[in-house]
Amino acid sequence: MASSTKRTIAVVGATGRQGGQVVRHLLADGWRVRALSRTPAGKKGAELGGLGADVVYADLEDAASLDVAFADVSGVFVMQPPGSRSIEIEVGQGINAANAAARAGVAHVVYGSAGPGNTETGVQQWDAKLRVARGMEDLGLPLTVLRPMAFMELMVDPSFYPQSSTWYTMPRLAGVDSRIPWLSVRDLGAVAARAFAEPERFIGKDLRLAADVKSLAECRRVFREGRGKNPPRFPMPLFLFRRFVGDDILTMWRWLRENPVDADTGPTYEVLPTAMDVQAFLQAVR
Ligand SMILES: NC(=O)c1ccc[n+]([C@@H]2O[C@H](COP(=O)([O-])OP(=O)(O)OC[C@H]3O[C@@H](n4cnc5c(N)ncnc54)[C@H](OP(=O)(O)O)[C@@H]3O)[C@@H](O)[C@H]2O)c1
């Protein structure tokens, strides 16, 4: 995009992991960015403001706030926050964003989805995203769906669930040998920016995103080889873990054990040749 035109993209979840990376890549590409937050004056909002984003109030539960936030933008990045623990809430919030994008006549919606494909699995947060994407299609929105499975940040970011998750609880539920498609949040942001840069190439696409497909045992080995030590394991009884994260994460990880996923990394590297595999990611975040 020619930076002189400085068109605007609105980013839902801008203060979070995905949205934060989308904001950074869009700013780097020369877009004007409207970063949405329920607390725009907070620390993360101030950080985004410092980077050059216009940080505005919006709540996915408040349609009027979305109308203001989506006014006169060229595109919208939509995601849903984690942790609602209710498929109805997640679907409702996604559809609120979709309806607002339709009312605003937005030229391109990039939707941060998740999951293995287009069939419902019983994992609520994946099924919710399928329903939201269908709702967006029904509204006739010019749509690109980005569909990662597991973020590599799960391996190193202590803010993800209790620390026990990836190296202790997840292997117990998903199995150490189940192959898992991985993508870094940074690369999710980069792919979203590519989509906004080339709408004619990306509108109508539903991209399953994986830069690497590795079992937890393989990831553990890569971690150990790269860092000379085992990844941290923080044992936590399942009942306690469930209390932190709810049932759906447990359902998801058990699903991974029972349903082998065979993801092709080719399409991701076609869109983003610099995408990081697990080894490159673990080196980059040292
Ligand atoms: N973990 C994985 O491996 C993985 C993989 C693929 C997809 N996903 C999906 O990624 C999503 C989570 O993304 P994330 O990790 O980037 O989330 P995150 O870092 O927890 O950020 C959540 C964002 O949502 C915003 N938010 C919360 N409630 C809101 C509301 N009512 N209205 C508007 N904004 C609201 C928050 O902004 P404010 O607080 O500033 O309002 C924050 O920016 C989930 O849907 C999950 O299913 C996860």
pLDDT in tens, 60-117: 999 999 999 999 999 999 999 987 778 999 999 999 999 999 999 999 999 999 999 8
CA gyration radius for the chain? 18
pLDDT of residue 2: 40
How many separate domains does the chain show? 1
Q: Is 24 in the pocket of ligand 1 (CB under 6 A)?
A: no
pLDDT of residue 183: 98
Ligand 1 atom closest to Cα of residue 125:
47
Q: Is 79 in the pocket of ligand 1 (CB under 6 A)?
A: yes
For 212-241, what is the mean pLDDT? 94
- What percent of the chain clears pLDDT 70, i.e. is strictly above it? 98
Reported as a pLDDT band with limits 50, 70 and 90, residue 139 is very high
pLDDT of residue 92: 97
CA-nearest residue for atom 19, ligand 1, is: 16
Residue 170 included in any domain:
no
Residue 98 included in any domain:
yes
pLDDT of residue 82: 82
Closest to 40 in 3D by CA, of 27, 53, 30: 53
User: In this model, does residue 277 exceed pLDDT 80?
Assistant: yes
Residue 157 included in any domain:
no
Q: Which of 108-122, 159-173, 193-207, 270-284 is predicted with the least confidence, judged by mean pLDDT?
A: 159-173
Give the tens place of pLDDT for each residue, 153-181.
999 998 887 777 899 999 999 999 999 99
User: Do the Cβ atoms of 179 and 214 come closer than 8 Å?
Assistant: yes
Q: Is 41 in the pocket of ligand 1 (CB under 6 A)?
A: no
Give the tens place of pLDDT for each residue, 101-136.
999 999 999 999 999 988 999 999 999 999 999 999
Q: State in Å: Cα 72 to ligand 1 middle.
A: 24
Residue 160 included in any domain:
no
Q: State in Å: Cα 82 to ligand 1 middle.
A: 5
Residue 79 included in any domain:
yes
pLDDT of residue 122: 96
pLDDT of residue 160: 80
Q: Which of 22, 38, 43, 123 to mutate to test the pocket of ligand 1 (most atoms within 8 A of CB)?
A: 38
27: containing domain: 8-151+181-211+262-272
Give the CATH number, domain containing residue 99: 3.40.50.720
Reported as a pLDDT band with limits 50, 70 and 90, residue 241 is very high
Q: Is 148 in the pocket of ligand 1 (CB under 6 A)?
A: yes
Q: Is 61 in the pocket of ligand 1 (CB under 6 A)?
A: yes
Reported as a pLDDT band with limits 50, 70 and 90, residue 54 is very high
pLDDT of residue 3: 42
Q: Which of 11, 17, 18, 130 to mutate to test the pocket of ligand 1 (most atoms within 8 A of CB)?
A: 18
Give the tens place of pLDDT for each residue, 1-26.
544 445 999 999 999 999 999 999 99
Q: Is 59 in the pocket of ligand 1 (CB under 6 A)?
A: yes
Residue 196 included in any domain:
yes
Q: Is 89 in the pocket of ligand 1 (CB under 6 A)?
A: no
Q: Torsions phi, psi of 16, nearest 5?
A: -100, -170
Instruction: Give 156's Cβ-side CA count (13 Å radius).
Output: 17
DSSP E strand stretches across the chain: 8-11, 32-37, 54-57, 75-78, 108-112, 143-148, 150-151, 179-183, 206-209, 212-215
Measured in whole angstroms, the distance separating CA 57 from the mean position of its chain's CA atoms is: 21
Residue 40 included in any domain:
yes
CA 4 – CA 202 distance, rounded (Å): 23
Q: Is the dihedral of CA 172, 16, 78, 135 positive or negative?
A: positive
CA-nearest residue for atom 38, ligand 1, is: 37
Residue 2 included in any domain:
no
DSSP bridge pairs for 215:
179
pLDDT of residue 164: 74
pLDDT of residue 5: 46
For 228-233, what is the mean pLDDT? 91
pLDDT of residue 250: 95
